[in-house]
Structure 1
Amino acid sequence: MKKFKTVFNQVKSLEGAEAPDMNSLLWQLICYSPKMPVRLQQQQLLDEAHQFTLEVDDPHFAKSALKFNGFIWGEGNRKIMITHGWGSKAADFAELIAALKNIDGVRIIAFDTPGNGSSEGELSNLLLFAKAAEAVIKTYGAPDVIIGHSLGSMANAMAIKETGAKPDLLISIAPLTNLKENFIASLNAADVAQTAQDNFFADFEEKFDMNASGFAFNNLYPAGSISRHWLAYDPEDRVAPFPFLNAVLTAHPEVETKVYEGRGHERIIKDETVIADIISLIA
């Protein structure tokens, strides 16, 4: 978190002016995922898990393979995969994982995506999130239930498409649905001038060989691959604004939704009512 604040303050101090290494600073602003230490309760849960390490290729930032760490609880035949969100980690689902462990016959698989938590990588992005989810699916088999929060929900959609997995239940919690708009919000918060923003998005398109607007949930949604999709959200979520989510729900009326007012974007995965509803869905 300290590094992110340093970069944010450095960019904001420019007051719209451009520095010689402006694009480099903006890549760090957008793609450095803040890291928070693991709490004691979380560490105790991780210590109970069977731990594994896989790797994915990062052709955009590290330009090498990156190792990422994962955790498995239980030995049941019914697999549940959990993909965390931006600036998060597997341990942030401690309350949900503890509840899931009480369901008979399940195997819970969670992981820290590259550039997040305990895994390798300085900068991260949606593609690395999705590649990590794909690697887990290819290694441990298609999950029966897939859970994602925030950016992890988008990553799950991409992984389902790429692997051909057909989960019985997909659970999306406060999903991000339009990454370009999230990028713009971050750039505006740091008072980045429009010309600098335009230069950044041009650089983005060159690096990823696609426009940032392509990273939208409607473009990634694996229609026809999901038996049931349940989605939880807070209509006042400032990180994942409802108007963007509403566009997804309008396009996919088959998605079941439940509103959780006042939970916010980060706290929603720890909320007792949300967790109880998820357990009820799965059990």
Structure 2
Amino acid sequence: MHPMASLLSTALNVTARLAPGPAGRRAFALFVRPLGRARLRPEEADPMARAVRGRMVVYGTAVTTYRWGDGPRPVLVVHGWSSRASRFAGLIEALRAQGRTVISFDAPGHGESEGRASTIRDYRAIIGRLHAEHGDFSAVVAHSFGVLATFSMLHDGMRADRVVGIGGVADFDYLVARFRAGLDLGEGVGRALRAHVERRLFPGDPDIWRRLDARRRFADVRAPILLVHDTDDDVIDPAQSRAIAAAYGPQAHLIETSGLGHRRILADPDVIRTAVEFAVSEAAPPAPVPAPAAGAHRA
């Protein structure tokens, strides 16, 4: 561990024992900061240039939105942590080739949006505003942290005909555990961070942790679900997608790939093909899903 990180870890662990409130605030300030702002890649420039840009203000921060096409029941694309909408450029192009309208956004502190921090509350607010503006989605395709945000909104009544989760997070506490492990923080800091999230983001909401857990199946979520996760993902454990698949049983298909990791999976042609075919399928759930390229397997 870097010496500065070690000092920070010691300070937070000691503070959590003596004053949980300040420890929770300091941990939260680190927890909500993306790991740098992902830049637009050259191969993403043309698809993003074809988007109609919009703007919304969420909790005081200006957020950039994107739309390709103007048809009804669009496909919503939700990026992950320290990422941006443009990482879905290949998938967006494939959806457009199928005649689908696509909408997306850069969360606060990401891509072309303002701010330096982002929270699950921000993601939920943006998705909720887009749902209110465009109506029910024909599909939602989400990655990583975006998968957790998507399921939390489905639990709150957002409607989508189909859901695709790639390298997804199943529960918020997993993110807290990863944060603690990365900085060698004790359980006291985790408890203080969790308490601060409750007070700062969801005051007076006793059910929030239930809704921030995609492993809890809600009867009203009836859309067929495709989950894709790489066994070599070193950012989000594949067990997270397996847990969602187990919760939803035959309603969900889980495909495990290998050799793609957490980020390259978004640009893989076979993953894009499989996700798009699932998203645009008119078949009744649970729909059969074509297998990806050699080296991938179902679980």
TM range (shorter): 0.7 to 0.9
Aligned to 1:79: 74
CA gap of 1:25–1:79, structure 2 versus 1, over 3 A, is: same
Q: Can you give the 5+ residue segments of structure 1 that lack an aligned partner in the other structure?
A: 1-7, 58-64
CA gap of 1:211–1:136, structure 2 versus 1, over 3 A, is: closer
- Matched-pair contact (CA < 8 Å) for 2:168–2:240: no
> Structure 1 residue 212: deviation in Å?
8.5
> Structure 1 residue 196: deviation in Å?
3.5
- Matched-pair contact (CA < 8 Å) for 1:169–1:229: yes
- Matched-pair contact (CA < 8 Å) for 1:85–1:148: yes
Aligned to 1:96: 91
CA RMSD of aligned residues (A): 2.7
Does 2:257 correspond to 1:255?
no
Aligned to 2:227: 231
CA gap of 1:15–1:130, structure 2 versus 1, over 3 A, is: closer
- Matched-pair contact (CA < 8 Å) for 1:85–1:152: yes
Matches of 1:173 and 1:152, distance apart in 2 = 9
TM-score (norm 2): 0.79
Name the SS of the counterpart of 2:133 in structure 1.
Answer: helix
Aligned to 1:62: none
CA gap of 1:15–1:80, structure 2 versus 1, over 3 A, is: closer
CA gap of 1:248–1:161, structure 2 versus 1, over 3 A, is: closer
Matches of 1:44 and 1:170, distance apart in 2 = 26
Matches of 1:230 and 1:129, distance apart in 2 = 21
The total of aligned residue pairs comes to: 267
Name the SS of the counterpart of 1:86 in structure 2.
Answer: coil
The amino acid across from 2:48 in the alignment is L
Q: Can you give the 5+ residue segments of structure 2 that lack an aligned partner in the other structure?
A: 16-21, 282-299
> Structure 1 residue 132: deviation in Å?
0.6
> Structure 1 residue 248: deviation in Å?
2.6
Aligned to 2:64: 69
CA offset digits 1:232-279 (Å, max 9, x no partner):
112343332233433332221021121112222222111111011122
- Matched-pair contact (CA < 8 Å) for 1:158–1:222: no
CA offset digits 1:28-82 (Å, max 9, x no partner):
321101311212332332221111112333xxxxxxx322111111233451110
- Matched-pair contact (CA < 8 Å) for 1:89–1:116: yes
Aligned to 2:295: none
The amino acid across from 1:173 in the alignment is I
- Matched-pair contact (CA < 8 Å) for 1:72–1:107: yes
Deviates more, 1:15-24 or 1:34-43: 15-24
Aligned pair partner of 2:275 in 275, 278, 281: 278
> Structure 1 residue 9: deviation in Å?
6.8
Aligned pair partner of 1:131 in 110, 125, 135: 125
Matches of 1:239 and 1:217, distance apart in 2 = 18
